[in-house]
């Protein structure tokens, strides 16, 4: 296996289009709220369908409930466990949420009594790390993706748990699953097997994008039946679903673009509002992507974060949510919450150009991330856990747990 310093040569043909002029970022950072006095090792968060509750989760089975409007109102949910909880998804009715994690861990949060319960014993998933989970829009099935490429559909009827494997899955980690609002179609993103869609019959269809480390995907629009997938190397894909014949859906070369002139790497993407999503960067930064306009807007540069709070600027963004068209909150792995909102006055700089290149699909491609990972041990561990070999992933997890325990004792 290739080491984490250099994953592979990213050999693709890039056609550089005309520069795309986009509005200068007018977003500023504001209030900071800390969930705890120590680094928490959070991995993600989900917001309830009605937007009234955020559930955050991460290392040592930690679970936090957060008021999305006022994060000063937060609490930790009592649950004993040593798993790292990687992903979560609220049921469309908002009365519960599934939380997936390492070692086949699948938990259910119940809002009526603020409790946590296990879903199965973990043996149903053969102990595989569960990297992603998402309910479809009518709540009939939840889909769970594994670190070894397995894919399952899960539901509970009359207290009886149903877990069924979905045929046709690949061999690399299913990093994210997102379901299209108002339909029973869901999109998955994987480490190297590409991007796929689960249809209303729970059948899997692969669309393309093979070889890219697609670390996240969201479906921010029910009207356009489109989703946005992101790769760690600043590549963005727009997935269009042919609902009349899903098998005819495909990922065309011009649906994949790579942002030029942006420093860092993509670490995830979150739904902001209808047709809009927020792409998180490492080092700390945010890009807005508008699905309808097919354009990306540089909202928060790392230099802005450095000037505002040096410690915050080195933290990894794990989630974000909106409270308005240009305002909301950002959550970091350390457990920091920072508010963002529009600046009161426009800066004189006016227009910022971002070059977007069209990446031509062809062959298997992986990212060269040696510059970022070598300069930041924290991000090196994160990249190893996300797309490294099994040996590198285990080593990085052990090192991160050692550091987390040391921080808690401090």
Q: Specify the pairing of strand 151-157 against strand 160-165.
A: antiparallel
SS3 content of the chain, % helix, strand, coil (to 5): 15, 45, 40
Full-model pTM = 0.83
Specify the higher pLDDT residue, 220 or 393. 220
Structure tokens at 177: 């699953």
Helices (H), 343-376: 370-375
CATH 2.130.10.10 fits 13-409, yes or no: yes
pLDDT, average across residues 336-348: 77
Cβ-contact 369, 382 below 8 angstroms: no
Q: What are the two backbone dihedrals, phi and then psi, of residue 400, each rounded to the nearest 5 degrees?
A: -65, -40
Please report the pLDDT score of residue 159 as a whole number: 73
Per-residue pLDDT tens digits for 384-408:
666 665 566 666 666 766 665 555 5
Name the maximum alpha-carbon separation found in the chain: 62
Report the alpha-carbon angle 290-292-294, nearest 5.
Answer: 60
The domain limits of the chain are 13-409
d(CA 305, CA 142): 37
Specify the higher pLDDT residue, 198 or 248. 198
pLDDT, average across residues 296-301: 91
pLDDT, average across residues 317-344: 95
């Amino acid at each position: 296996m290739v080491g984490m310093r250099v994953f592979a040569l990213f050999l693709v043909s890039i056609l550089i289009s005309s520069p795309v002029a986009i509005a200068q970022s007018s977003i500023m950072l504001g209030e900071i709220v800390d969930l705890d006095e120590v680094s928490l090792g959070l991995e993600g968060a989900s917001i309830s369908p009605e937007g009234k509750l955020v559930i955050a989760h991460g290392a040592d089975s930690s679970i936090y409930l957060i008021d999305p409007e006022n994060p000063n109102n937060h609490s930790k949910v009592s649950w004993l466990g040593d798993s790292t909880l990687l992903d979560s998804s609220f049921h469309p009715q908002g009365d519960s949420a599934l939380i997936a994690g390492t070692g086949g861990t699948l938990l259910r949060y119940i809002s009526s009594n603020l409790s946590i319960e296990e879903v199965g014993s973990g043996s149903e998933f053969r102990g595989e790390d569960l990297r992603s989970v998402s309910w479809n829009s009518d709540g009939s099935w939840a889909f769970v993706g594994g670190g070894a490429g397995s894919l399952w559909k899960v539901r509970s009827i009359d207290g009886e748990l149903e877990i069924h494997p979905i045929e046709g899955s690949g061999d690399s980690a299913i990093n994210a699953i997102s379901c299209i609002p108002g339909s029973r179609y869901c999109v998955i993103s994987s480490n190297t097997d590409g991007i796929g869609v689960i249809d209303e019959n729970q059948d899997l269809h692969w669309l393309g994008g093979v070889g890219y480390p697609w670390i996240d995907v969201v479906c921010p629009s029910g009207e356009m039946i489109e989703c946005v997938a992101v790769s760690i190397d600043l590549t963005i894909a727009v997935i269009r679903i042919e609902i009349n014949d899903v098998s005819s859906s495909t990922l065309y070369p011009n649906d994949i673009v790579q942002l030029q002139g942006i420093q860092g790497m993509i670490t995830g993407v979150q739904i902001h509002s209808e047709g809009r999503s927020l792409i998180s960067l490492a080092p700390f930064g945010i890009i807005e992507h508008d699905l309808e306009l097919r354009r990306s807007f540089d909202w928060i540069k790392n230099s802005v974060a450095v000037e505002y709070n040096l410690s915050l600027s080195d933290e990894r963004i794990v989630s974000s949510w909106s409270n308005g068209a240009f305002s909301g909150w950002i959550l970091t792995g350390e457990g920091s919450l920072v508010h963002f909102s529009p600046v009161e006055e426009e800066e004189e700089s006016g227009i910022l150009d971002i070059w977007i290149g069209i990446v031509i699909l062809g062959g298997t491609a992986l990212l060269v991330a040696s510059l970022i990972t070598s300069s930041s041990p924290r991000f090196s561990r994160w990249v190893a856990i996300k797309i490294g070999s099994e040996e590198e992933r285990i080593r990085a997890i052990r090192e991160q747990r050692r550091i987390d325990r040391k921080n808690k004792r401090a």
